[in-house]
Amino acid sequence: MNKKNGAVLVLSGPSGAGKSSLINKVFDDLGECYFSISTTTRPMRSGEVDGIHYYFVSEAEFKKDIEENYFLEYAVVHGNYYGTSLKPVRDALSAGKLVLFDIDVQGNTAINNRLGDITTSVFVTTPTLSELKRRLQGRSTDSQEVIHNRLQMAKREVQRISEYDYLVINDNLDEASEILKLIAKAARMKIPSNDINEFVQKWEDI
Ligand code: 5GP
């Protein structure tokens, strides 16, 4: 029971809710941790770096990766493909790391179906829809049409908060970061079901 277990922490929530800022702020305080870098067909935004924020690929490359079973999960979000690579996640889990995902609601469902017993999920959002709109407009990286689509999508995503273990309202980044650190600590303590059986068996024997 004292062996190191890997665990999964999923963060979802509307684009613009501040998931990336939160992850950047807490990452160094989370201990042995791996952030799953997704692959996407979405165009790179200014300031983004290939291999750090995402692996940016063409649609043809993405479809080839699907055929080769490269993904743990993938989904179409805002008209672009996004996917989580299986191998680095598997390696990080075997090394006992906490694996962090920034994925949408479809991705959370897929991860829970495959790794539910070691997964903790968090939905991050702004206090209100109008605050989300303000932040997206302030980001000035997206056109009005893209912002409109993201807000419509956000309204649909918020309907699915009940599928998550925790809700973090990112009103104040410092406060939200402290809450996320506590959740990450608890996520590491989640016990895979086969370990529970092993523990109960040993516990009864002694
Ligand atoms: P953005 O384009 O703003 O970086 O991300 C758009 C949405 O795609 C966000 O909700 C983000 O969480 C989600 N996303 C990013 N990577 C993945 C992934 O690998 N799988 C899934 N299902 N969603 C992802």
Distance CA 185, CA 198 (A): 23
**Rounded to whole angstroms, what are the CA distances from 47 to 103, 123, 124, 204?**
20, 25, 23, 56
Q: How many Å apart are CA 122 and CA 102, to the nearest integer?
A: 10
Range of the domain at 48: 37-95
Tell me how far apart the alpha carbons of residues 148 and 186 are, in angstroms, rounded to a whole number: 36
Give me the pLDDT at residue 76, please.
Answer: 96
Instruction: Identify whether residues 130 and 72 lie together within a single domain.
Output: no
What is the whole-number distance in angstroms between the Cα of residue 138 and the centre of ligand 1? Answer: 20
- The ligand 1 atom at the shortest distance from the C-alpha of residue 80 is 2
Residue among 104, 108, 122, 126 whose CB has most ligand 1 atoms within 8 A, to mutate: 104
Residues lining ligand 1, judged by CB closer than 6 Å?
12, 15, 38, 42, 73, 75, 77-78, 82-84, 102-104, 106-107
Domain match, 66 and 144 both: no
The tally of domains found in the chain comes to: 2
SS3 10: strand
Q: Which position has the token pair 């501040």?
A: 18
Nearest residue to 102 (alpha-carbon basis) of 171, 36, 182, 16: 36
CA atoms of 77 and 82, how far apart (whole Å): 7
Question: Which of 36, 38, 142 has the most ligand 1 atoms within 8 A of CB, as the residue to mutate?
Answer: 38
Nearest Cα residue to atom 4 of ligand 1: 15
- The predicted pLDDT at position 128 comes to 96
Residue where a domain stops, chosen among 66, 95, 124: 95
Give the chain's residues under pLDDT 50.
1-2
| Alpha carbon nearest to ligand 1 atom 1, residue | 15
Per-residue model confidence (pLDDT) at position 139: 78
Tell me: do 141 and 67 sit in the same domain.
no
Buried b (16+ CB within 10 A) or exposed e, 124-157: bbbeeeebbbebbeeeeebeeeebeebbebbeeb
pLDDT given at position 201: 83
* Domain end position, chosen among 75, 95, 115: 95
46 and 28 within one domain: no
Q: Name the residue of 103, 106, 109 to mutate for ligand 1: max ligand atoms within 8 A of Cβ.
A: 103
Q: How far is the CA of 105 from the centre of ligand 1 (A)?
A: 9
Residues 112 and 197 in one domain: yes
